[in-house]
Amino acid sequence: MQPYSQNSKHIAVNLTHVFSLSENTISSTSEHNKDKYAPQINLFYLFSLDPLMPAYFQVIVGSINKVKSFQFSIKESQAKNAVVVEDSEFFSQANVLALEQAELSYVLPLKRNSSLLDYEVIKLGDKNKFGGFFRYGRRVIWFYEYLKAGRRVVVFLDECLKVEEEQDVLGRIDAERLLDEVDVLDVERRLALFYEHQFWFGTVGVVTNVGVLAREVFELLDARVDIL
């Protein structure tokens, strides 16, 4: 599999927890995560993006720190163009700093309430204030970027996704209004939250140290979804 890890244009990196109660799995150790506290192993994957196919994998002891796992496995794979692509749960200042100290490239999505995200451009409602747009499949993706705390932050806006998310939230609020026993205060509270967070809908924000165009950052992020 080495030709795929060395010659590919990009490699998307993913680390997955697998719970195991097998007494024969020597790599499993008891670790706590958001799901449960149970013996687990970590599966490290490298995926070639050109073509899209597995390029390398390794089973890692569950107790090893994630960033150290990335560093060790990427080095062993001899991949030259590896980019760490994780989910929003992975992001923390400590993890980002550790990735940078390990000289690893990364694309990390942010939770929508992250202090790194600035929605002022979206609130203006003026597309001329965006950095531009690109087509992705049948959708148009708008984007803008800026530096925050010395790091590159890119915010994407998918208006089709925005409509879907708004319809979902407002549909559930409207359905609650029609119940025989309506909790008026709860409906008003949820509607107030909708107004407060209305500029979040349809957005994806990332922090990255990869020096490529915004479209390529989006493609790297979306590749992780395709892999999973």
Residue 9 confidence (pLDDT): 66
Give residue for tokens 């599999």.
Answer: 1
* Ranges of residues in the chain whose predicted pLDDT is under 50: 25-34
Q: What pLDDT score does 28 carry?
A: 41
What pLDDT is attached to residue 38? Answer: 57
- pLDDT on residue 21: 55
pLDDT confidence of residue 223: 84
Using N-to-C axis directions, what is the helix angle for 159-177 and 184-196, rounded to 10°?
170
Q: For residue 228, what pLDDT is reported?
A: 60
Q: What is the pLDDT of residue 225?
A: 74
In the chain, domain spans: 2-85, 110-228
Rounded-to-integer distance, Cα 207 and Cα 78, Å: 25
pLDDT of residue 113: 96
Please give the Cα distance from 151 to 146 (Å, whole number).
8
